[in-house]
Amino acid sequence: MKLNNMRLASRLAMGFGVVLVLLAAIVLIAGMSLGRTAESTRNMMAVPLQKERLVSEWYMLTLVGVKRYTAIAKSTDASLADYFANDVKISTARGNEIIKALDGLPKSDEEKKVVDRLIEARKVYTGTRDRIGAAKKAGNADEAIRILEQEFRPQADTFLGNMVDYLKFQQKTLDEMAKEVDAATTSAQWRIGLIGALALVVGAVFAWVLTRSVTVPLIRAQQMVQAVASGDLTRSVKAEGRDEIAQMMTQLDAMRVSLQTAISTVRDSSENIQNACQEVSAGNQDLSQRTEQTAGNVQQAASAMEQLNGTVGQTAQSSREANQLATNAVEVATRGGQVVAEVVSRMQGIHGSSRKIADIIGVIDGIAFQTNILALNAAVEAARAGEQGRGFAVVATEVRNLAGRSAAAAKEIKSLIEASVEQVEAGTTLVNRAGDTMNEVVTAIQRVTGIVGEISVASAEQADGVSQVSGAVTQMDAATQQNAAMVEEIAAAASSLRGQAQSLVDAVRVFRL
């Protein structure tokens, strides 16, 4: 089972659990070792040490008894034995209690042999001691001293020596038990040390493994975060396991991919914005130049429209005057027709009226001449009006032709009138022809009057239209000036946006995708 598949809490619980188990094992082993040591100490205190104390007490009682009977044997006072009799009784009773207590304690075979020798030596010792007391009571002091010197002291030394041997045996036993306690303590210490070392090693291994299972992924995550912080978005991190760190590393890598996608999009968008800004800036420069040119052209057009407006106004005024003249010409032509009718009806008075007719023809000739001049002026104004005055030029040309024809007819009529005196009959025919011609002149003049009226109306409409166009051109000029100012502002904004886009491109260029 991989540690990376375990949750951090489970790993920590397992690691601390192992350490706690090892610690519990150390405590258990230490407790058991201390228990065995305590038991060994209790055993040592319960039997061997108790035996040593009993024998030591017995040794002191015996040593005092030897000194007491030595004093009794060597003393000349017969009452001294009676004086020590109670002490001897008490010492003897205590010795019997000690022997009884020693018999009740467990002993090894070797110890039993030592005890048997000690009891046998005591019997010999007490028998000789009683003989000294009996000899002293009998008043046989020399015998008492002899027994003391020859028998009691060697036997007492043997008895005390057996006690010393028994004490040494007990001390040897205590030393062996102390060695066993020391060995058990040393063994317990070794076991505790080994378990402690094992716990230390296992704990260190678990700590190392647990630490690496946490720090290694964290180091890789830190390296990836440092790479991202330095602008390198190409370094990915592979998550192993299903623990919290693996989930965090997976989320970090997903964040890196998302950031890489976002930075790539931002970089592409920044470059596109930069290119678009360059194109907009170049287009704005061209537009600014064209707008300036357009503004100049519009200003020129405005000036031309003002001049055209004045010219059209003059043309309209001339058209109104021509219309008035044409109306007058119609009236004159009508009267001429009436005169011709009277000439036809009054052929008899043609001679008398010839001069008047000549005068009338002169008037007609003047009218034709004026009409010719007006037609010429109308043609000139039509030429100035350009395309819009083309129709008016055609009419003016026709009027001029008619005026020429009228002038020619007037001259011809004048010649005929001059010859009318001589050619009355021919005059009648000519008058008839003149009547027809006058009818045509009236019709033509009426047509000219209608055309001139139309020209007058058209000129007025053109004047109004030119005024409107002039106003529109003026507004266009103002709008063009505003557009030029806006184009300059847009150019400045585009330049600023291009700088910002360049800064953005430089900012995202530090990231490696």
pTM score, whole prediction: 0.39
Q: 461 with 336, same domain?
A: yes
Q: Could you tell me if residue 242 is inside a domain?
A: no
Q: 198 with 314, same domain?
A: no
Q: Give which of 340, 354, 474 is closest to 419, Cα–Cα.
A: 354
Q: 170 with 308, same domain?
A: no
For 378, residues 6+ apart whose C-beta sits below 8 A from its C-beta are: 318, 319, 322, 392, 393, 395, 396, 399, 455
If DSSP states are collapsed to H, E and C, what string results for 359-379?
A: HHHHHHHHHHHHHHHHHHHHH
- φ/ψ of 231, rounded to 5, equals 100, 0
Q: Could you tell me if residue 283 is inside a domain?
A: no
For 117, residues 6+ apart whose C-beta sits below 8 A from its C-beta are: 162, 165
Please tell me the chain's helix, strand, coil percentages from 3-state DSSP, rounded to the nearest 5: 90, 0, 10
Q: 200 with 313, same domain?
A: no
Q: 175 with 303, same domain?
A: no
Q: What is the DSSP letter of 52?
A: H
- The token duo for 307 is 């001049």
Out of 183, 201, 221, a domain closes at 221
Answer yes or no: are the C-beta atoms of 155 and 124 closer than 8 Å. yes
Report in angstroms the alpha-carbon separations of 224 from 210, 242, 243, 263, 454.
22, 19, 19, 16, 91
Out of 221, 246, 281, a domain closes at 221
Q: 13 with 131, same domain?
A: yes
Q: Could you tell me if residue 252 is inside a domain?
A: no
Q: Tokens 């502002």 — which residue?
A: 489
Question: CA-to-CA distance for 177 and 50, rounded, in angstroms?
Answer: 14
For 123, residues 6+ apart whose C-beta sits below 8 A from its C-beta are: none
Question: CA-to-CA distance for 460 and 40, rounded, in angstroms?
Answer: 146
Angle at 55 between CA 49 and CA 61, to 5 degrees: 140
Answer yes or no: are the C-beta atoms of 291 and 490 closer than 8 Å. no
H or E segment and range at residue 232: none
Q: What is the DSSP letter of 509?
A: T
Q: 216 with 306, same domain?
A: no
Q: Could you tell me if residue 233 is inside a domain?
A: no
pLDDT tens-digit map of 149-162 = 999 889 988 988 88
* Number of domains, the chain: 2
Q: 217 with 312, same domain?
A: no
In terms of Cβ atoms closer than 10 Å to its own Cβ (0-12, 13-18, 19+), residue 276 is middle
User: Can you list the positions of beta strands (E) in 220-304?
Assistant: none
Question: CA-to-CA distance for 152 and 129, rounded, in angstroms?
Answer: 7
Q: What is the DSSP letter of 439?
A: H
Q: Could you tell me if residue 272 is inside a domain?
A: no
Collapsing DSSP to helix, strand or coil, 57 comes out as: helix
Q: Could you tell me if residue 274 is inside a domain?
A: no
Q: Could you tell me if residue 108 is inside a domain?
A: yes
Distance, C-alpha 223 to centroid of its chain: 18
Q: 40 with 133, same domain?
A: yes
Q: Give which of 495, 494, 493, 490 is closest to 291, Cα–Cα.
A: 490
Q: Could you tell me if residue 106 is inside a domain?
A: yes
Answer yes or no: are the C-beta atoms of 69 and 136 closer than 8 Å. no
Q: 313 with 196, same domain?
A: no
| CATH (domain of 69) | 1.20.120.30
pLDDT tens-digit map of 368-420 = 788 888 878 877 887 888 787 777 777 778 877 887 887 788 788 778 877 87
Answer yes or no: are the C-beta atoms of 480 and 249 closer than 8 Å. no
Question: CA-to-CA distance for 311 and 463, rounded, in angstroms?
Answer: 9
Collapsing DSSP to helix, strand or coil, 512 comes out as: strand
| CATH (domain of 415) | 1.10.287
Out of 187, 221, 255, a domain closes at 221
Question: CA-to-CA distance for 383 and 389, rounded, in angstroms?
Answer: 6
Q: 17 with 151, same domain?
A: yes
Q: 330 with 469, same domain?
A: yes
Collapsing DSSP to helix, strand or coil, 399 comes out as: helix
Q: What is the DSSP letter of 149?
A: I
Per-residue pLDDT of the chain (513 residues; tens, 9 = 90+): 566 677 767 767 777 787 788 788 788 887 877 777 777 666 655 677 888 888 889 899 888 888 888 888 887 776 777 778 788 889 889 988 988 888 878 777 888 888 888 889 889 988 888 888 888 888 888 888 899 899 988 998 898 888 888 888 888 888 888 888 888 888 888 888 888 888 888 888 878 887 877 787 778 778 878 888 887 878 777 767 677 777 777 887 788 788 878 888 877 887 787 787 778 678 777 867 877 787 677 678 668 767 867 776 777 677 677 677 767 766 766 777 677 678 668 767 766 777 787 787 787 778 878 888 887 887 788 788 878 777 777 777 887 788 788 778 878 877 887 787 677 677 678 767 767 876 786 687 678 678 767 767 776 777 687 678 678 768 877 877 887 787 678 778 778 877 887 787 777 676 676
pLDDT value at residue 146: 92
Range of the domain at 388: 289-508
